[in-house]
Chains A and B, each alone.
Chain A
Amino acid sequence: MNALPCTIYLSFTGALLTLLIGKRSALGARIVALATALLGLEITLSAALSYIPNPHGLTTLVNTPWISQLGIHYYLAVDGISLTLLILTGLATTAGILFSWNIEERVGEFFALYLVLIGGVYGVFMSADVFLFFVFYEIAIVPKYFLVAIWGSKNKEYGAMKLVLYSFVGSSLVLAGLIWTYAASGASSFGLPDLIQASSHLTHIQHIEIFGLIFFGFATLAGLFPLHTWAPTGHVAAPTAASMLLAGVVMKLGAYGCLRVALPLFPQAIDFWQPIIACLAVLGIIYAGLIALIQEDFKYVIGYSSVSHMGFVILGLISCNLKSLSGAVLQMFSHGIIAGLLFAVVGRMVYERTHTRNLNELKTMGLGKRLPFVACVFVIAGLASMGMPAFSGFPAELTILIGTWKVSAVWATAAAVGILISAAFTLRAIQLAFFSEAKSVTSANTHAFAPITLPEKLGSILLIGTTLIIGLKPDLLFNLINPALQSPYFENIIKGVTS
């Protein structure tokens, strides 16, 4: 438990080490990066196993004054929700490194930036001081730019710039909101518990205004329609490991911010914003799904599917009851795993071998027969992404649906339509990419593909195993998430709605 903060320091140390070693030995850098990731995963897993839910909410790990004049503390604390996301980070990092094992260009720098990003993500999920939260949040944003701009593919500069501009606009909204809160409420510190107490003195109008700033700021990163446009472009431009992290973990930072900061601080604003945000979330689910249905570029299909699935997270969050919130957190976890796997197949396992992502070209290659392992992984990932029972997406979407029914049957119905659309575009992608008749196989594309490497297999098995285990036994995570949601920390937002 107390080792958890080490994940942050470990990642930063690992980054430094890979940078140094990477100059001499690419393999060395890879091994250091993998070791760092595995160690982080081990720490989060053992913390989760030994974690006893704290009925008061957050369990403090570190709390020392940092800039005491401003009431800023180095304050790390966790509950079941942060633990869930920490495990996700550990898993996604490990898988991401396995899937970028073959990177040759500036290996040291690549993994160094990658690990800095991870350190920032770990930090965000543990911060209980909003200022610290914000610092880690920014640390996570900067390396994204370089990862995309240097190692990216098609349109990388544009994608990187768009990604970072959106992120910065989002975070400046958040910052403005936080400073406003601090100033207007006269809070004694930036610590979340203090702020929650202090914010109750704000007027109703202020609640509504500041909530709007902070929620939309965070939701930009979570891919809320219509602020989502950075996501597909950024995901597509990014190198595989970065898209896995972007879709898998970075989008969750936004959603986590909404849940950890925006909602508990301004419970009075929920009634006002609920219809608007839920409407946008539902629109996003359906719109992004329909766009995914007509994409020619394989990676765009996955990019838009991420936006669609994150719509479920936002819908669950804004529905604000025990079921919907626990579903939203589970969906964050589940989507992190599944999106990672989908991007790994498309960006790494297929693109590295075919050098095209155009579905019409892939169609002619008969990949189903020539890359059976990849086809199998993609089918499983696709089924999981469609919300098939036995995979983690199912319990998540089901609980969100149940929770949404409590608020509005209309949104629940629209979300169900979204599930159907996601089945349609996933199936279309499976069919086009892997199981089309290879009628026009020309000599140019019959050359043998490089065999699937061991890291690719390990990464696939890790992610598939996780989504299956959680799908068959969702209580492993629900037992972490539910006590956290029932703690006093969230009582203001769930109040009045029975379980």
Chain B
Amino acid sequence: MNHFPILSFTIFVPLLGALALTLLPNLNEKALKQVGLYLSLSTLLFVVLLLRQFDPTQSGYAITEKYAWIPSLKVNFSLGLDGISLLLIGLTALISPLCILTLPKTNTNSRLYILLFLILQSAALGVFLTLDFIPWFLFWELSLVPSYFLIKLWGGSNAAKAAYQFVIYTMGGSAFMLLAFAGIYFKTGTFNFVELTELAKSGGLTLSLASLGHTWTVIVFLGVFIGLAVKVPLYPFHTWLPLAYSEAPTGASIFMTAVMSKMGVYGFIRILWPLFPTLLHRASGFLVWLALAGVVLGAFAAIRQTDIKRMLGYSSINHLSYCLLALFSISSITPESAMGYAPITAAFAGLLLQLFNHGLSAAALFYCVGFIESQLSTRSITEIGGIRKVAPRLAGFSGVALFCSLGLPGLSGFIGEFLIFKGVWGIHPIISTIACLGLFATAYFLLTFWQNVFHGATTENVKSTLKDFTASDVLTLAPITLLMILLGILPSILIQLFNPLIQHWASSLVLP
């Protein structure tokens, strides 16, 4: 292992860059945007470096760093990278520069806009890489501050309410998570996820929490659960989402759906599941139904929307609920059920692929919709039509993202959803059947959207004011669009990153 603290650098370069940006003298708009973009792209460089060092077959965390932080509370700043975190920091590295490029042209305070996105980027990277609750929580909460201001200051007409609701919901979740971890610390004396996972495996964690009494053990579990569920969000904790996504400026919507929602799912995989396997297992029988409700109701709610951003918001709930459906299905397996590895690994691989692919397709969709909104000043599906004729490039990119999100074979979205269905089918055939309803509804609303907005008669406003993607828009979206196609054909590029990990995980769940 080399001594270059690459993980810390990955996290802190954007953050320190953001601070440096405040001190820079007055730059013109263009230079500012460039500096911000380079700082943001630094993560991509680090991801490439990490990919070269990373050995997927190694069990546990391939690259770790650890520094003492608050010795009196035994808090360390400990970082670790495995296949799952690598996947997600890869996603963050791809999405963040895109967000900076969404800087509105008529912006009065570009410096702040870029600064907030750089902080957001660092926060997300921190969440995906830290292995100790205190620094993890720091980054988790840090992500709220820039999102709040991005929504509040650059959002639509109802932004104040959206921002307030978003922060209060998430802070509400966080307060209970903090309470739960205070309880865990009081019983175990550690905040470290790895140590707590070991404790949970040996049964020590259950034993120490048992002295709190059963009710309080459950409350500790629920505290962590709610904190994460609000962020994803899991039905019925989703009510803040449609308003926040639709009022937020394009860049913020992209980051929230593509990266921040993944923080919640990541928390489920990294924290809740390893720490409370028994309780999660017991709750899973019920939770799969909640996830299913997210899949089905999210899709049906999306059908009813006339605001395209709200529609995409509900579609995000729908897509992320697939991930949770897979997760809760796996955790509901009893070791005695004598099930093979196959459904588990399929569902798990599908879950991780879906995380990555949803990030790509949702980001591209929000970019396109944001582009349309900024030109036409409307988000109403009924007032827009026939874009394909006026703006073929815009329609082309939207089409790829849309069909990717729909799960068309050949594009990256397909393989994730397919594996999830394959896995869940093997575990809960009935639920998987009902989830198909959601799949149809998704297809229905995405196709209706496609039909209404891009085909049909060209409306007056489209004809008169809409311009097509410029070269810079094309360049912005080209990388992730190419990735959607590439990963649709060769999903193994991603799967090999985490395959040994999920094999290992599956074998620990099923008795030989």
A residues sitting closer than 8 Å to B (CB atoms) are 323, 326, 383, 386, 388-390, 395, 398-399, 401-406, 409, 412-413, 415-417, 419-420, 423-424, 427-428, 431, 435-437, 473-475, 478-479, 482
Question: Given A390-B138, A401-B182, are A416 and B175 also a contact pair (CB < 8 Å)?
Answer: yes
Across the interface, A409 reaches (CB within 8 A) one of B134, B137, B160, B212, namely B212
Q: Which of B136-175 contact A (CB under 8 A)?
A: 137-138, 141-142, 145, 148, 152-153, 160, 163-164, 167-168, 171-172, 175
B179 and A413 within 8 A (CB):
yes
Question: Given A388-B145, A390-B138, A475-B72, are A420 and B216 also a contact pair (CB < 8 Å)?
Answer: no
What are the residues of chain B within 8 A of A420 when measuring CB–CB?
A: 168, 171-172, 175
B186 and A416 within 8 A (CB):
no
Name the residue of chain B whose CB is nearest to the CB of A424.
B168
What are the residues of chain A within 8 A of B176 when measuring CB–CB?
A: 416
B281 to chain A: closest CB distance in Å? 23
What are the residues of chain B within 8 A of A416 when measuring CB–CB?
A: 175-176, 178-179, 223
Q: Bound state CA distance, A389 and B138, in angstroms?
A: 5
What are the residues of chain A within 8 A of B164 when measuring CB–CB?
A: 427-428, 431
Q: Bound state CA distance, A474 and B73, in angstroms?
A: 10
Q: Bound state CA distance, A428 and B379, in angstroms?
A: 29
B138 and A405 within 8 A (CB):
no
Name the residue of chain A whose CB is nearest to the CB of B140.
A389
B167 and A427 within 8 A (CB):
yes
B186 and A405 within 8 A (CB):
yes
What are the residues of chain B within 8 A of A406 when measuring CB–CB?
A: 186
Across the interface, A389 reaches (CB within 8 A) one of B141, B172, B175, B216, namely B141
Name the residue of chain A whose CB is nearest to the CB of B171.
A423
Across the interface, B182 reaches (CB within 8 A) one of A405, A427, A479, namely A405
A395 and B178 within 8 A (CB):
no
What are the residues of chain B within 8 A of A478 when measuring CB–CB?
A: 70, 72-73
What are the residues of chain A within 8 A of B512 when measuring CB–CB?
A: none
User: B25 at interface (Cβ–Cβ under 8 A)?
Assistant: no
A390 and B142 within 8 A (CB):
yes
Q: Interface digits, B339-372 against A, CB 8 Å rule (1 contact, 0 not)?
A: 0000000000000000000000000000000000
A479 and B72 within 8 A (CB):
yes
A398 and B72 within 8 A (CB):
no
Q: Bound state CA distance, A323 and B72, in angstroms?
A: 10
Question: Given A431-B152, A435-B160, are A395 and B70 also a contact pair (CB < 8 Å)?
Answer: yes
A439 to chain B: closest CB distance in Å? 11
Name the residue of chain A whose CB is nearest to the CB of B71.
A475
Question: Given A390-B142, A482-B72, are A423 and B167 also a contact pair (CB < 8 Å)?
Answer: yes
User: B183 at interface (Cβ–Cβ under 8 A)?
Assistant: yes
B179 and A412 within 8 A (CB):
yes
User: B49 at interface (Cβ–Cβ under 8 A)?
Assistant: no
Name the residue of chain A whose CB is nearest to the CB of B182.
A401
User: B46 at interface (Cβ–Cβ under 8 A)?
Assistant: no
Additional 10 contacts, C-beta under 8 A, given A412-B183, A419-B175: A388-B142, A389-B137, A401-B182, A416-B176, A416-B223, A424-B168, A431-B152, A431-B160, A475-B70, A478-B70
User: B219 at interface (Cβ–Cβ under 8 A)?
Assistant: yes
Name the residue of chain B whose CB is nearest to the CB of A416.
B179
Which of B148, B178, B179, B185 has the most A CB atoms < 10 Å from its CB?
A: B179
Q: Bound state CA distance, A412 and B152, in angstroms?
A: 32
Across the interface, B179 reaches (CB within 8 A) one of A388, A390, A401, A423, namely A401
A409 and B142 within 8 A (CB):
no
What are the residues of chain B within 8 A of A386 when measuring CB–CB?
A: 171
Across the interface, B175 reaches (CB within 8 A) one of A323, A399, A423, namely A423
Q: Bound state CA distance, A479 and B72, in angstroms?
A: 8
What are the residues of chain B within 8 A of A326 when measuring CB–CB?
A: 72
A85 to chain B: closest CB distance in Å? 18
A389 and B183 within 8 A (CB):
no
B170 to chain A: closest CB distance in Å? 10
Name the residue of chain A whose CB is nearest to the CB of B152.
A435
Number of residues from B at the complex interface, CB < 8 A? 32
A419 and B72 within 8 A (CB):
no
A411 to chain B: closest CB distance in Å? 11
Name the residue of chain A whose CB is nearest to the CB of B185.
A402
Across the interface, B178 reaches (CB within 8 A) one of A401, A403, A424, A475, namely A401
B208 to chain A: closest CB distance in Å? 12
What are the residues of chain A within 8 A of B179 when measuring CB–CB?
A: 401, 412-413, 415-416
What are the residues of chain A within 8 A of B219 when measuring CB–CB?
A: 409, 413
Name the residue of chain A whose CB is nearest to the CB of B215.
A409
Q: Which of B107-146 contact A (CB under 8 A)?
A: 134, 137-138, 141-142, 145
What are the residues of chain A within 8 A of B72 when measuring CB–CB?
A: 326, 474-475, 478-479, 482
What are the residues of chain B within 8 A of A437 when measuring CB–CB?
A: 160
A395 and B73 within 8 A (CB):
yes
What are the residues of chain A within 8 A of B182 when measuring CB–CB?
A: 398, 401-402, 404-405, 412
A398 and B178 within 8 A (CB):
yes
A419 to chain B: closest CB distance in Å? 5
A409 and B167 within 8 A (CB):
no
Q: Bound state CA distance, A427 and B167, in angstroms?
A: 9
Which of A404, A405, A435, A482 has the most B CB atoms < 10 Å from its CB?
A: A405
What are the residues of chain A within 8 A of B73 when measuring CB–CB?
A: 395, 398-399, 474, 478
B216 and A409 within 8 A (CB):
yes
Q: Interface digits, B180-194 against A, CB 8 Å rule (1 contact, 0 not)?
A: 001101100000000
Q: Bound state CA distance, A417 and B174, in angstroms?
A: 11
A145 to chain B: closest CB distance in Å? 39
The 3 A-B pairs with the shortest beta carbon distances in the complex, nearest first, are A389-B138, A416-B179, A401-B182
Q: Which of B389-447 contact A (CB under 8 A)?
A: none
Q: Bound state CA distance, A435 and B109, in angstroms?
A: 14
B331 to chain A: closest CB distance in Å? 26
Q: Bound state CA distance, A395 and B163, in angstroms?
A: 26
Name the residue of chain A whose CB is nearest to the CB of B220.
A409
The contact sample of 23 A-B pairs, CB cut-off 8 A, is A326-B72, A389-B134, A389-B137, A398-B73, A405-B183, A405-B186, A409-B183, A409-B216, A409-B219, A412-B179, A413-B179, A415-B179, A416-B175, A416-B176, A416-B223, A420-B168, A423-B168, A423-B171, A431-B163, A435-B160, A474-B72, A474-B73, A478-B72
Name the residue of chain B whose CB is nearest to the CB of A399.
B73
Q: Bound state CA distance, A419 and B138, in angstroms?
A: 15
A436 and B70 within 8 A (CB):
no
A402 and B141 within 8 A (CB):
no
What are the residues of chain B within 8 A of A427 when measuring CB–CB?
A: 148, 164, 167-168
Q: Bound state CA distance, A103 and B289, in angstroms?
A: 65
What are the residues of chain A within 8 A of B134 when measuring CB–CB?
A: 389, 398
Name the residue of chain B whose CB is nearest to the CB of A388.
B141
Q: Bound state CA distance, A435 and B141, in angstroms?
A: 21
A389 and B142 within 8 A (CB):
yes
Name the residue of chain B whose CB is nearest to the CB of A478.
B72
B70 and A474 within 8 A (CB):
yes
What are the residues of chain B within 8 A of A404 when measuring CB–CB?
A: 182
What are the residues of chain B within 8 A of A475 when measuring CB–CB?
A: 70-72
Q: Bound state CA distance, A196 and B142, in angstroms?
A: 46
A53 to chain B: closest CB distance in Å? 13
B246 to chain A: closest CB distance in Å? 18
B112 to chain A: closest CB distance in Å? 9
What are the residues of chain A within 8 A of B148 when measuring CB–CB?
A: 427
Which of A403, A427, A478 has the most B CB atoms < 10 Å from its CB?
A: A427
What are the residues of chain A within 8 A of B153 when measuring CB–CB?
A: 435
What are the residues of chain B within 8 A of A390 when measuring CB–CB?
A: 138, 142
Name the residue of chain A whose CB is nearest to the CB of B223.
A416
B249 to chain A: closest CB distance in Å? 15
Name the residue of chain B whose CB is nearest to the CB of A403.
B186
Q: Bound state CA distance, A417 and B182, in angstroms?
A: 14
Q: Bound state CA distance, A395 and B179, in angstroms?
A: 13
Which of A395, A420, A428 has the most B CB atoms < 10 Å from its CB?
A: A420
Q: Interface digits, B71-90 against A, CB 8 Å rule (1 contact, 0 not)?
A: 11100000000000000000
What are the residues of chain B within 8 A of A423 when measuring CB–CB?
A: 167-168, 171, 175
What are the residues of chain A within 8 A of B216 when measuring CB–CB?
A: 409
Across the interface, B186 reaches (CB within 8 A) one of A389, A402, A474, A479, namely A402
B393 to chain A: closest CB distance in Å? 35
